[in-house]
Structure 1
Amino acid sequence: MSSTVDPVTFDTIAPQPVRTVDGTRMLLRGGQGVAGAALILTALGLWIAPGANWDPELVLLKLLISAVGAMVGVALLQGFVRPAAPKIEVDTIRHEVRLVRIRGKDRFVLDRCAFKDLTRVEDTGTYLKLWGGNGALLAEVAASDRVAHRSLVTALRVAGKL
């Protein structure tokens, strides 16, 4: 009996960017919205269709079909809404960049990368691009405050990235 090591590591897998540039997610959300609206309109159309049959057995079936169709339609329409972009937090004291999603009172850290683990940093005036440890674009920061920009550039220089 022998065991082998799988040479595939997590570093060789292509990282998922925060936002994709192609329109596949937009098309899927659009299709989801159209399907949700169609289900809701179909649920309403069952009741206002001319010449509808009002037998008690069929009314119960129509009620069940329209309730399920309306609930699924509302669920699809809620998924149609574009999610908010994650918030970028640059902590010059802890020397790290965080991507945070805030939902109500909850705060979820999506990604965290120390300045020393950044693969690349581009500085063009007041605009900085930071690439994470896996090579994916982590954040684009446009610092309008001169003191904050200077603090960030200094922290990146201390980490050896600029």
Structure 2
Amino acid sequence: MSPDQTPSTDEAIAEVEAQLGVLFGRVRTLWKEGAHRVHPDLQPVGYKLLATLVRSGSCSAGALAELLATDKSVISRQVKLMEELGLVVSAPDPNDGRARILTATPEAVVKIDAIRDTNQAQLRSRLSDWTDDDLTRFATLLARLAE
């Protein structure tokens, strides 16, 4: 324990860790449910990739892997499946003939947007009694944690 930490600091950090575990479990459940809503054969990691593509716009598989800190082989397998399911199309990158640009299909965009709307409505409901200051502080703290 560092000199500026007390047992209560350690307990608080342990509680933060526990609550993050609960939150991450809920996020994994949302990805699983979202994947199933998009297509019964889509895996949660595919949903995460597809949702990122919809939010961020077209990009290469390498850029998507970097953005999500995911192995390129995972991206490749999921993209192949999503192409087969009609959720993603790929085209040669005009700037790099070796790379391909991935784009969510219009059907995928509609499905992801509908799921995102539902998720945001649920989050809005859970946070409806929070003040603007609470929400701003929470967002700031989350951003600091992600640094």
Question: Shorter chain as normaliser: what TM range?
Answer: under 0.3
User: Which structure shows the bigger proportion of residues in helix conformation?
Assistant: 2
When Rg is computed on C-alpha atoms for both structures, the one with the higher figure is 1
